[in-house]
Structure 1
């Protein structure tokens, strides 16, 4: 599925954005302080690629002039938490097919899924769904006699259907249908379709700005510790993404002895990244990406004086010069850091 439109309300400098339609490539244009970044940050919080992100805080995020009145009203129960961001997603053929395999081709009555997130960080969905059509399909698709199907079709609700099934001989076919019905009963078939079939297909957003640019060097032990504790720093994510894309195992890199095996693995990783980067970076086709791992030294940057360090380097074959990744042009570092996210997620970005 793809994001087709969104709207933002009562968030920082934006009181009401009205409906913002999106295409495959969408660019926000406006003066400084016009609210472009605010829109993107609200949208990112709707479905963030980093699971520890995405929370709204009315103290910091609600428009300041009305913040006190808003919080008082919520605390007193005179209003519900405000709707911050709403995303409209167009279901594609494969999304519709996933639902159709369970509930048939006519249960979904619209190809639009709406997700809404509120200041208490709860979320709601809207999905047009024909419960009767879904119920009829799951009955008709079972290998039961016409007489039994006709009786089951008279059920006016999923609960009624479950009661009718309980009175039948418990064949494998009946038991399978009853298992599905019982998983639907706490809510609706539409709820089941979203939570069990579509929720995992909702695109994740990556919000990217200078905050996420990699430094080009990190201490391996410290990076593993932050990864395992869930305390990754913003600039850790692009480096970890590139390490994964290069098919390296971060834990194995702790064995930083200069063996042929390690050298070959680092050269292989460098070749993989070089081939992929040069598909998109057209300004200079004579660059070669390199990974280097060595013991920490006293003169290394702060936090990297013990253990083992990983260094990302760029070799220019024209000038016969190697430079640290983080010291290349700002445009190249921005591209290199951003590129790994483009490989794995739907993106909302600040330009």
Structure 2
């Protein structure tokens, strides 16, 4: 019995991969993967090449191979003649206890019976940690290797057989858009015949129509033949009704914004697809619906086709998903990814700030171009301006987002660091069943406490439902005074508009006189980050006890007085904190003091916005 049949399972854990000798990729280095991983970078950096190389390793469509003539790096062209046997891609899947046992049961080498007078050979012990590694070279089939089992315990051929049945297939989707225009089935059949049945040589539109027919269990040639007789046309009407209901059901699994029904209508050889919103009741031909809606239709049906309607046990490789969707649709798509990631692994490329989930910086991989070759930076710290522009915009640091912000509840914070920290903490708290930041509240970073009154004045002037969260220190108190004096009196002229001024230390329930975003964490945690960033060995007892009790000011005083620094470089220390953030997967990974402080802060914010 296959492992898939043994239990209802999540997708096997895809741990990561490496690509070499492929187009502009000389060596990507090892790329760690999460259940959801976003590859962020500018055009022509090599994001597509990365996915294409990975896809061939274990594709949903079999028998796809690398082509030395097309895929070997151009600037190493002299080595092309010796390319056969050179590595292209490797990947690792980590096995859980059930998978370890299943593979062992399927591929174990039988222990021979002992000869007379000999003691029996003991059974090999199952490993507690094991993985299945896939590797592919130019000119060779994919190799499957079990790692962690006792030497000689498994039959390599049976390992490959088990892997073929159970390792998640890679599904690569890059051409989403379909026009939805009518299709002449007889002409489609002729085009398919002309390419010898090789679908990948057809247009994206033709391939999508064939997928629709596949989902409906409709054979194109048989369907055309049925249209030639009255009885055949009657039978065909039942086929298309059944297909319409199935496509509607599968689409509803991924699109939950509103209820939509599809109707495949065929008149002679002509196929049309109609989409009807339940609350309107009037069918509209698909080609007259929005580009974003057609994108979603194409994605939903291609995913349905690849997974045979199960929506599970795949590694989805998605190029620029959501590029045709508006902002809200893009955020909804991230929610769909979260839901699908329970049973699939999702890797996607994007240059859209709104397709980067602020609660999960650990999901981001920056794709850079260095000397015309792809390079990967794990996390959200990069020296290159182009890919980081996406991250900066996702944090609200660039671009004009007033149209979006004006339709949200907006909380101004002092900077991008506050946004990263609060979103990360919120995401972890919510995953652990605790209260995080309300989905209604959007964090809008200013550029320091001194500039928050300008942000507040703009928000109040535009009539936004807004507020500000300020550090409990001198700069924060000064900003609060300016906002109160300059802008809050104007609220009396309005009717229902609200603006909240919240102080971080008070919201966190701290007894410290001064309190900033770093003080949400234990002092020892921040000092450890400082030591790592500066290469020092500061102890808590070294910090001054008088003056401000804000951890950053205490550390800065020591750096100046003992080590000769002009100031504390908060950006360097925050970069080290972000590295720690990337390792936190659940609320249990957080320091307890951070859980207590941050949960109180989110409760105060949520209550203030009602």
Pick closer, same or farther for the CA change 1:317–1:117 going to 2, 3 Å.
same
**1:88 is the counterpart of 2:92:** yes
**Which residue is equivalent to 2:265?**
292
For residues 320-339 of structure 1, give each alpha carbon's deviation from its aligned partner in whole angstroms, at most 9, with x where no partner exists: 55433244222222211111
Rounded to whole Å, the distance in 1 between the matches of 2:301 and 2:125 is 39
| Counterparts of 2:53 and 2:97, CA distance in 1 | 28
Q: How does 1:71-220 map to 2 (within 5 A)?
A: 71-72=80-81, 74=82, 81-102=85-106, 103=108, 106=125, 110-128=129-147, 129-131=149-151, 134=153, 189-210=154-175, 213=178, 215=180, 217-220=182-185
With over 3 angstroms needed to count, the CA separation of the structure-2 counterparts of 1:126 and 1:99, relative to structure 1, is: closer
| 1:242–1:214 distance in 2 versus 1, CA, 3 Å | farther
User: In the alignment, does 2:343 pair up with 1:323?
Assistant: no
Question: Once the 2 structures are TM-superposed, how far is the Cα of residue 7 of structure 1 from its aligned partner?
Answer: 0.8
Are the structure 2 counterparts of residues 212 and 4 from structure 1 closer, same or farther at C-alpha, using a change threshold of 3 Å?
A: farther
Distance between the aligned counterparts of 1:70 and 1:327, measured in 2?
A: 51
Task: Compute the displacement of 1:40 (Å).
Answer: 0.9
Is residue 60 from structure 1 mapped to residue 21 from structure 2 by the alignment? no
Check conservation: 2:145, 2:159, Cα contact below 8 A: no
1:42 Cα deviation after fit: 0.9
Alignment match, 1:275: 249
CA–CA separation in structure 2 for the residues paired with 1:330 and 1:290: 19
Superposition deviation, residue 192 in structure 1:
2.7
Counterpart for residue 332 of structure 1: 293
Q: Deviations over 1:275-329 (max 9, x none)?
A: 33233223443x321101112xxxxxxxxxxxx2322222345555543324422
Retained in 1: the 8 A contact 2:254–2:300?
A: no
String of CA shifts for 1:232-274, please: whole Å, max 9, x gaps: 1244443333334345454553223675554344333323322
Could you tell me how far apart the structure 1 residues matched to 2:127 and 2:157 are? 12
Q: Can you give the 5+ residue segments of structure 1 that lack an aligned partner in the other structure?
A: 135-188, 296-307
SS in 2 for 1:33: coil
Alpha carbons of structure 1 residues 213 and 115: separation in structure 2 relative to 1, 3 Å: farther
The number of residues matched between the two structures is: 276
What secondary structure does 1:120 align onto?
Answer: coil
Aligned partner of residue 32 in structure 1, secondary structure: coil
Q: Which runs of 5+ in 2 are unaligned?
A: 1-11, 109-122, 308-313, 321-610
Distance change >3 Å, CA 81–CA 131, structure 1 → 2: closer
Query: What is the TM-score with the length of structure 2 in the denominator?
Result: 0.41
Q: Distance in 2 between matches of 1:199 and 1:247?
A: 25
Which residue number corresponds to residue 58 of structure 2?
47
Q: Which residue matches 1:162?
A: none
1:230 and 2:197 correspond: yes
1:283/1:115 Cα in 2 relative to 1: closer, same or farther (>3 Å)? same
Q: Is the CA contact (8 Å cut-off) linking 1:212 and 1:237 kept in structure 2?
A: no
Seen in structure 2, the aligned counterparts of structure 1 residues 27 and 84 have a Cα distance that, compared at 3 Å, is same
Shift of 1:86: 0.8
| Aligned mates of 2:242, 2:280 — CA distance in 1 | 23
- Select the structure of larger CA radius of gyration: 2
Shift of 1:62: 1.9
- 8 Å contact from structure 1 (residues 86, 115) kept in 2: yes
Q: What is the Cα deviation at residue 43 of structure 1? A: 0.8
